[in-house]
Amino acid sequence: MLNPRTPFVYREAEEMEPFVYARFDWGVEKKVPVPGKSDKEVLAVLKGLVDHGLALPKSPESDVFVAAPIIEAAKGESAYEPINLTWDGKTLRRNPDFDIPLEEALKP
């Protein structure tokens, strides 16, 4: 999903080829050159990067933490929309490039 509030850093430079750079979880980075592309073509590149990121393994840096809402006792918990969190609180996430067996990595 494209986030319209995502800040974009841009710099004008005559001697540089334009590019779009994205950083994903686990330090995965991707740079896509966009010389001569129209705004629609650059948007297509952004959408492609988003799709690429969705297919990659997620790290804890992507987890969303929100404060628990205050629930009015008279209404009950079922009267409120559930909070959507990306982490279930139990799954151990680890870098897929980390080749030490999980059992060994968890030893104290």
Mean pLDDT by 10 residues, the chain (108 residues): 67 85 87 93 91 85 64 72 59 66 72
Residue 26 within a domain: yes
Domain for residue 7, yes or no? no
Q: Is residue 75 part of a domain?
A: no
Query: Does residue 93 sit within a domain?
Result: no
Flag whether 68 is in a domain.
no
The parent domain of residue 32 ranges over: 19-60
Instruction: Specify if 40 maps to a domain.
Output: yes
3-state secondary structure of 19: strand
Q: Is the pTM of this model over 0.75?
A: no
Q: What is the pLDDT of residue 89?
A: 60
The pair of structure tokens assigned to 50 is: 């988003």
Number of domains in the chain: 1
- On whether residue 86 sits in a domain, the answer given is no
45 inside domain: yes
Give the model's pLDDT for residue 33. 94
